[in-house]
Amino acid sequence: MSSEPQPGIYRKVATRVWQDAKFRALTPLAPSGAALWLYLLTGEVTTQLPGLVRAGEAALAEALGWPLEELRRCWAEIEAQSMATADWPARLVWIPNAIRYNQPQSPNVVRSWGRPWAEIPECTLKDAARRVLAQQMAERGGAFLAAFKEACPPASRKPSGKASRKPSGKPFGKPSPNQDQEQEQEQEQEETFGAELPPAGGTAAPAPQPASPVVVTIPCVGNGPKTYDVTEELVSKWKPVFPGVDVRGEVLRAAAWADANPARRKTARGCPAFLTRWLAKAQDSGRGNGSLAPARYERVLTRDGGVRLEPVGRGFLEPAAMKIIRKEDL
């Protein structure tokens, strides 16, 4: 399914309408999921960053004039539809699909996100939002992605010595000239989704042991590690990004797909980007909660005279649907 929003007609709504005297004199909005959703999209709690809303439960309830219990009931409706997710202790709400309908018009607009991005509290949900926004900017082109990396740097790792108050403007280390084109592309995708890269000017250090239990191990190709471990920590980070997806189930499917397709496996360095794309396709297809979307297949002759079933059209081949037909069974 295309990541582009369906064609539609849009209207501009000024956030100040919620504070307008005449608007406030009207019959107030009764507590409902729809009313809360409209406020999250158009209220003054929105930011320049599409989809990121800075507000906690109490602030939302007070702004709408609702009891806190009613606010929570209405929020549960939105959350049940996988329309948004929240980190209430950080007072942050994330609407994943907002960026699809609020694309920046130029890289300069993306650069203007720098100040509001710095004001967003650091938390796992902010990291998850950055990965989605980075993916969207990568799809817009290199200039948009470069502007996004400049304006919205990832959360700093454990600093050595004094921490700098300003994010470093230095780019990630460039790949060595003898790397093939595929690895360069995968490294760029990996930077997009916030994966850690080896230090510039040196060789990649051995991959550290996972700090949390391994959910599944994905076989890899290339000159680097031959496997990639998906940990419980990674699954937990991806859940807020793809609220309508059974992340654990989809990761297991991706691993099975890689196991069944040796010629199409990814490098260990490219696995984070591969898995993020897999989860994004599951989200867009409405597959969620592990249910498989219907697929069509066609017979393809193999070199040894057998036949295998291949998917028709775009999308990933579901490993459960793969079937090898022997020549003697025809």
Give the model confidence (pLDDT) of 115-135 as tens digits.
999 999 999 999 999 999 999
**Distance (Å, rounded) from C-alpha 105 to C-alpha 266?**
33
Q: What is the pLDDT confidence band of residue 27, given thresholds at 50, 70 and 90?
A: very high
CB atoms within 10 A of CB 178: 6
CB atoms within 10 A of CB 33: 17
**Distance (Å, rounded) from C-alpha 318 to C-alpha 330?**
23
User: Angle at which helices 33-42 and 68-80 pack, to 10 degrees?
Assistant: 80
- What does the radius of gyration of the chain's CA atoms come to, in whole angstroms? 23
Contact 132, 241 (CB under 8 A): yes
The CB-based long-range contact list for 41-46 (8 Å cut-off, 24+ gap) reads: 41/95, 41/98, 42/13, 42/15, 42/17, 42/18, 43/15, 43/18, 44/15, 44/16, 44/18, 44/19, 46/15
Neighbouring residues of 61: CB distance < 8 A, sequence distance ≥ 6: 67, 68, 70, 71
**Distance (Å, rounded) from C-alpha 310 to C-alpha 188?**
29
Check whether 263 has a pLDDT greater than 70.
Answer: yes
- Tokens for 90, please give them: 């950080």
Q: pTM of the prediction?
A: 0.50
Residues, the chain, total? 330
User: Angle at which helices 124-140 and 271-285 pack, to 10 degrees?
Assistant: 90
Q: What average pLDDT score do residues 69-82 get?
A: 93
Q: Give the right CATH number for 15-151 from 3.40.50.1980, 1.10.10.10, 3.30.360.10, 3.40.50.620.
A: 1.10.10.10
Contact 261, 100 (CB under 8 A): no
**Distance (Å, rounded) from C-alpha 57 to C-alpha 200?**
43
Which segment of 106-120, 145-159, 243-257, 270-284 scores lowest on mean pLDDT? 145-159
Burial 151-163 (b: 16+ CB within 10 A, else e): bbbbeeeeeeeee
- Tokens for 286, please give them: 């409405």
Which segment of 15-29, 36-50, 144-158 scores lowest on mean pLDDT? 144-158
- Tokens for 18, please give them: 């919620």
Q: What average pLDDT score do residues 29-34 get?
A: 94
Looking up tokens 């939002």, which residue turns up? Answer: 129
Neighbouring residues of 90: CB distance < 8 A, sequence distance ≥ 6: 121, 123, 125, 126
3-class DSSP assignment, residue 105: coil
Q: Residue ranges per domain, the chain?
A: 15-151, 212-285, 297-329
Q: What average pLDDT score do residues 256-271 get?
A: 89
